[in-house]
């Protein structure tokens, strides 16, 4: 039996030895590239060398600038050859080398000649190469040819032009958007691939305009899209429009199209439509039924890919709608013995989600048989299914916990092991009877755990739950083993866990103190520091055993929270300068600086879903805050609430370019004027803006920060600060006059004259409006956020908005006045709609969360009525929103 195995290995070695790419080195290949310069070109030899160069490039080999240039210029000589195979290799190597702008010009004429060649293969490949290497200037020169190629009769050429458009859209969107008419024509092509690429490009051109995307989908769903690939794309775009429309399930636009797609001939289209229907938000059982029926038919298909796609989709559906999938159980049971282990795994996990308690043991035995044969991705699916099953049938926790502990000992990656650990932790928390056995399984796992993160998390969990068990002492051995055998991070976590047992279990405290004293000799300073701290803490509790307050202090220290956001503590420590005054932790602000990315779910309360401010990137916020805090006059203003986008105060191409950014604090507003001098022969000095606040009565000027020097084409900033009533929504209009001293500059030497002349320049007005006091903060689920906010601080009223051009114009006007974030695509008003509901969210000055529900209606005379409902953390904020609308 051994002989064939040896022979097989020998055969494999022979294959590796004769691999055409074995032992390829960059230096030798570059030497071989000299054949490109031979007077008599050997097409076959040149193709082999280019293949080796492409291999090196795709293996991550980097060429120096000189090497790449030499290869590029040598390759360009190969355009002399008429060999079509070599020409295709030349296209590939030019595309991979990505020549610089000054080198591109060398091959441009050759590529443009090929682009107009009679050989379709040359034309298509030349288009692909040109789109990869040209810049915007050259693109305008060949734009006419590309537009012609899009509607070319040859499908290969048309597809090449369309795919090039997709890539060029990222770098030259303005040019590509001019091709809309040609792309629209290509969408009607009879060639399947052309229609597919044309639809993809047309959608990308319009993707930032929801109304345009909706119109595109409307026209195509009524038209005749023949290509199965294009139909799949259209189904995806349709489901996107349905999600963004935010309408109720019974009123979904385009849903009939999805349902009709279930009756198409192409299997990929049928599956895409079924998957799209199952993924719709709030889909009903009636809407699911046709999609589930189609997927059920796929389960018995002879094609493994269809069986896999169907069972995977049903697996996801079973999470939200287990009853809808129950009818497929008989078909899925036949897949348990499927040769494809991935299909069998998904079938079993789906059955676990939809089956009853009596079938659990039978399914668990079948899973165990092939668990080692499947990838980690599917192992995680199994683990998640078992976790949900155990919560569904808590009496089965013993067999399910035993299964989880067994697979925890098997080989697997981090994500797989983390999924098991998370499942065991969840079961321990939700099923009290499973606590002791679960903790022991975790203890046994960390004996051989190779992942530091998991070891520390498990130790932390054992420290919280272990002391509450009937026999806490049995866990000490596992914990102390970590101090002896593991790395410094795990040793430090083990020391903290030991201290928790010492604090909560009085009988164990003397032995815990002995173990902690041994840790004082650890080689890592973090471990020694923790041991010293905990020894001192536990010993203080021991010396005053009669003092209950001391014991409570110890427990509070070990188990309580810091009470200060870690981000705030880190920022305060970074700003602290070493001095005689020690760092005072009481000086750290306790309020959270920004909304968390994901809110933790409070007991009995749904998450509001309010995320971080979306008005500008965090980097811009930080940059503005650093800039303003560095100016002494503004450092006492407190926390910056919001910075607006720059507002232009001068027209384009004037002598001086000025824009303003409005920085809003609780009791102040700072106007930052960004100035640019566009005259080379002038130097501006002592630049300030004289602000007239006569039309802003609640604002009083408190500080001016001038700009000392403003050379040519070197932007600078000058600031004016105003005080306003704290927390008030103060509005007003400011007139601006730019004042400065002009000094002439000698163009030859670049030196300015010593004497200057005072001058001034009138700027546009700046207006502070109510929207400046609102941050645009999205919510992930408006309905949950609205219900979680409660109606304690709700304020509802109705308003007449007078005659308007359209309902859409009225919605936009109110959104702009409030400055809030539209949720779930509700800012888009359907065509010819007589009523509309708009949902808005934000954070008002003072960090008060605000949710707004607007109901609009328009009559025959185009008079618009609006019902405004506001919910907020603060009742005064709800009133303020209504005051803004009244104003």
- Does 731 have pLDDT greater than 60? yes
Average confidence (pLDDT) over 306-327: 84
**pLDDT greater at residue 747 or residue 66:** 66
> Cα–Cα distance between 298 and 521 in angstroms, integer?
65
What are the start-end ranges of the E strands in 769-809?
A: 774-775, 795-803
Mean pLDDT for the chain overall:
80
> Cα–Cα distance between 723 and 122 in angstroms, integer?
69
- Does 584 have pLDDT greater than 80? no
> Which of helix, strand or coil describes residue 647?
strand
> Cα–Cα distance between 752 and 216 in angstroms, integer?
59
- Residue whose pair of structure tokens reads 């990315």 in the numeric block: 597
User: pLDDT tens across 277-291, in order?
Assistant: 888 887 887 888 888
> Cα–Cα distance between 72 and 90 in angstroms, integer?
10
840 φ, ψ (degrees, to nearest 5): -130, 150
Average confidence (pLDDT) over 874-879: 85
> Cα–Cα distance between 404 and 386 in angstroms, integer?
8
Q: What pLDDT is stored for residue 60 in this prediction?
A: 80
The pLDDT-based confidence of 594 (bands split at 50, 70, 90) is: very low
Angstrom distances, CA of residue 847 to CA of 402, 506, 738, 793, 871 = 49, 45, 34, 16, 14
The pLDDT-based confidence of 756 (bands split at 50, 70, 90) is: confident
> Hey, which residues does 433 pair with through a beta bridge?
none
> Cα–Cα distance between 95 and 239 in angstroms, integer?
36
Comparing 17-21, 95-99, 565-569, 788-792, the range with the smallest average pLDDT is: 17-21
Please say whether the beta carbons of 342 and 350 come within 8 A: no
Question: Which one, of 315, 244, 310, lies nearest residue 280 by Cα?
Answer: 244
660 φ, ψ (degrees, to nearest 5): -125, 140
DSSP conformation class of 169: H
> Cα–Cα distance between 263 and 273 in angstroms, integer?
9
Which of the given ranges, 535-539, 735-739, 829-833, has the highest pLDDT on average? 735-739
**pLDDT greater at residue 338 or residue 50:** 50
> Cα–Cα distance between 233 and 201 in angstroms, integer?
11
Comparing 89-98, 559-568, 601-610, the range with the smallest average pLDDT is: 601-610
**pLDDT greater at residue 512 or residue 540:** 512
Q: What pLDDT is stored for residue 459 in this prediction?
A: 92
Please say whether the beta carbons of 249 and 283 come within 8 A: yes
The continuous run of DSSP H or E covering 266 comes out as: none
The continuous run of DSSP H or E covering 648 comes out as: strand 647-648
> Hey, which residues does 796 pair with through a beta bridge?
869
- Does 518 have pLDDT greater than 70? yes
> Cα–Cα distance between 885 and 800 in angstroms, integer?
11
Please say whether the beta carbons of 165 and 146 come within 8 A: yes
From first CA to last CA, the distance across the chain in angstroms is 92
Please say whether the beta carbons of 634 and 719 come within 8 A: yes
Question: Which one, of 91, 170, 83, 166, lies nearest residue 123 by Cα?
Answer: 91
Please say whether the beta carbons of 315 and 381 come within 8 A: yes
The pLDDT-based confidence of 554 (bands split at 50, 70, 90) is: low
- Does 9 have pLDDT greater than 50? no
Question: Which one, of 678, 645, 650, lies nearest residue 664 by Cα?
Answer: 645
Q: What pLDDT is stored for residue 717 in this prediction?
A: 87
Comparing 615-619, 704-708, 830-834, the range with the smallest average pLDDT is: 615-619
> Cα–Cα distance between 162 and 146 in angstroms, integer?
9
DSSP conformation class of 828: P
Question: Which one, of 128, 125, 135, 57, lies nearest residue 100 by Cα?
Answer: 135
Please say whether the beta carbons of 228 and 269 come within 8 A: yes
Q: What pLDDT is stored for residue 268 in this prediction?
A: 92
Angstrom distances, CA of residue 129 to CA of 103, 153, 835 = 14, 20, 51
Residue 355 burial (CB count, 10 A): 21
Comparing 535-549, 665-679, 757-771, the range with the smallest average pLDDT is: 535-549
DSSP conformation class of 441: H
Average confidence (pLDDT) over 154-179: 87
Two structure tokens written together for 478:
């596992």
Residue 429 burial (CB count, 10 A): 13
> Which of helix, strand or coil describes residue 577?
coil
The pLDDT-based confidence of 372 (bands split at 50, 70, 90) is: low
**pLDDT greater at residue 829 or residue 489:** 489
Q: What pLDDT is stored for residue 887 in this prediction?
A: 67
- Does 611 have pLDDT greater than 60? no
**pLDDT greater at residue 584 or residue 510:** 510
Instruction: Walk me through the domains of the chain, giving residue ranges and CATH numbers.
Output: 108-208 (1.25.10.10), 209-280 (no CATH), 467-556 (1.25.10), 618-768 (2.60.40.1480), 773-886 (3.30.310.10)
- Does 619 have pLDDT greater than 70? no
> Cα–Cα distance between 826 and 840 in angstroms, integer?
8
Question: Which one, of 871, 834, 866, 826, lies nearest residue 849 by Cα?
Answer: 871
> Hey, which residues does 695 pair with through a beta bridge?
733
- Does 12 have pLDDT greater than 60? no
Give the CA diameter of the chain: 102
Q: What pLDDT is stored for residue 640 in this prediction?
A: 84
Please say whether the beta carbons of 193 and 202 come within 8 A: no
What are the start-end ranges of the E strands in 181-302?
A: none
- Does 187 have pLDDT greater than 70? yes
Which of the given ranges, 42-51, 99-108, 217-226, 826-835, has the highest pLDDT on average? 42-51
């Amino acid at each position: 039996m051994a002989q064939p195995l040896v022979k097989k290995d020998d055969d494999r070695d022979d294959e590796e030895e004769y691999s055409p790419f074995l032992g390829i080195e960059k230096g030798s290949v570059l030497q071989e590239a000299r054949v490109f310069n031979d007077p008599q070109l050997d097409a076959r030899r040149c193709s082999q060398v280019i293949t080796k160069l492409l291999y090196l490039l795709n293996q991550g080999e980097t060429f120096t600038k000189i090497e790449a240039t030499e290869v590029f210029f040598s390759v360009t000589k190969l355009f002399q050859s008429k060999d079509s195979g070599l020409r295709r290799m030349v296209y590939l190597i030019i595309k991979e080398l990505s020549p610089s702008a000054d080198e591109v010009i060398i091959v441009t004429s050759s590529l443009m000649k090929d682009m107009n060649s009679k050989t379709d293969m040359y034309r298509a490949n030349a288009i692909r190469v040109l789109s990869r290497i040209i810049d915007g200037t050259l693109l305008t020169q060949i734009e006419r040819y590309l537009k012609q190629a899009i509607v070319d009769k040859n499908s290969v050429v048309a597809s090449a032009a369309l795919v090039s458009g997709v890539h060029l859209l990222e770098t030259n969107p303005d040019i590509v958007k001019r091709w809309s008419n040609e792309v629209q024509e290509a969408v009607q092509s009879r060639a399947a691939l052309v229609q597919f690429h044309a639809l993809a490009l047309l959608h990308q051109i319009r993707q930032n305009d929801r109304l345009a995307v909706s119109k595109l989908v409307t026209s195509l769903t009524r038209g005749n899209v023949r290509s199965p690939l294009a139909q799949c794309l259209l189904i995806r775009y349709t489901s996107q429009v349905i999600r963004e429309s935010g309408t109720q399930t019974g009123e979904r636009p385009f849903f009939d199209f999805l349902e009709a797609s279930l009756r198409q001939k192409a299997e990929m289209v049928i599956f895409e439509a079924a998957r799209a229907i199952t993924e719709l938000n709030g889909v009903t059982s009636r809407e699911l039924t046709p999609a589930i029926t189609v997927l059920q038919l796929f389960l018995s298909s002879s094609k493994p890919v269809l069986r896999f796609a169907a069972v995977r989709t049903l697996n996801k559906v079973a999470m939200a709608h287990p009853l809808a999938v129950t009818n497929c159980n008989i078909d899925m049971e036949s897949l348990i013995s499927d040769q494809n282990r991935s299909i069998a795994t998904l079938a079993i996990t789906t059955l676990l989600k939809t089956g009853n308690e009596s079938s659990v043991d039978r399914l668990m035995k079948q899973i165990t048989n092939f668990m080692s044969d499947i990838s980690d991705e599917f192992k995680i699916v199994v683990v998640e299914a078992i976790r949900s099953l155990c919560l569904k049938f808590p009496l089965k926790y013993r067999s399910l916990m035993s299964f989880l502990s067994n697979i925890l000992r098997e080989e697997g990656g981090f994500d797989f092991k983390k999924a098991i650990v998370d499942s065991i932790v969840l079961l321990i928390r939700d099923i009290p009877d499973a606590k002791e056995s679960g903790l022991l399984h975790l203890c046994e796992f960390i004996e051989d755990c190779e992942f530091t993160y998991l070891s520390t998390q498990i130790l932390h969990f054992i420290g919280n739950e272990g002391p509450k068990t009937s026999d806490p002492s049995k866990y000490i051995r596992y914990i102390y083993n970590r101090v002896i055998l593991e790395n410094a991070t795990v040793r430090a976590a083990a020391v903290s866990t030991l201290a928790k047992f010492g604090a909560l279990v009085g009988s164990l405290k003397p032995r815990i103190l002995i173990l902690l004293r041994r840790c004082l000799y650890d080689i890592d300073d973090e471990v020694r520091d923790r041991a010293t701290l905990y020894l001192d803490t536990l010993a203080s509790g021991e010396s005053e055993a009669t003092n209950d307050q001391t014991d409570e202090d110890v427990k509070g220290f070990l188990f309580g929270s810091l009470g200060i956001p870690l981000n705030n503590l880190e920022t305060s420590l970074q700003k602290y300068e070493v001095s005689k005054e020690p760092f005072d932790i009481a000086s750290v602000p306790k309020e959270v600086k920004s909304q968390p990315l994901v809110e933790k779910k409070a007991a009995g309360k749904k998450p509001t879903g309010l995320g971080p401010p979306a008005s500008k990137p965090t980097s811009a916020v930080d940059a503005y805050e650093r800039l303003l805090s560095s100016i002494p006059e503004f450092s006492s203003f407190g926390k910056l609430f919001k910075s607006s986008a720059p507002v232009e105060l001068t027209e384009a191409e004037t002598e001086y370019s000025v824009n303003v950014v409005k920085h809003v604090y609780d009791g102040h507003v700072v106007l930052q004027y960004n100035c640019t001098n566009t005259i080379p022969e002038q130097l501006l000095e002592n630049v300030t803006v004289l602000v007239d606040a006569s039309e802003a009565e609640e604002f009083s000027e408190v500080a001016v920060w001038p700009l000392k020097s403003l050379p040519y084409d070197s932007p600078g900033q000058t600031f004016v600060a105003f005080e306003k009533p704290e927390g008030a929504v103060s509005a007003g209009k400011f007139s601006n006059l730019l004042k400065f001293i002009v000094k002439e500059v000698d163009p030859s030497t670049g030196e300015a004259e010593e004497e200057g002349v005072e001058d001034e320049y009138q700027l546009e007005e700046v207006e502070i409006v109510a929207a400046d006091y609102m941050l645009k903060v999205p919510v992930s689920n408006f309905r949950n956020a609205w219900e979680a906010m409660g109606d304690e601080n709700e304020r509802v009223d109705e308003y007449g908005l007078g005659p308007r051009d359209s309902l859409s114009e009225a919605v936009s006007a109110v959104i702009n006045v409030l400055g809030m974030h539209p949720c779930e695509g509700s800012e888009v008003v359907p065509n010819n709609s007589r009523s509309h509901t708009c949902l808005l969210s934000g954070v008002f000055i003072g960090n008060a969360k605000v949710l707004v529900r607007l109901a609009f209606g328009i009559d025959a005379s185009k008079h618009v009525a609006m019902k405004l409902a506001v919910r907020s953390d603060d009742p005064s904020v709800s009133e303020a929103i209504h005051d803004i609308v009244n104003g």
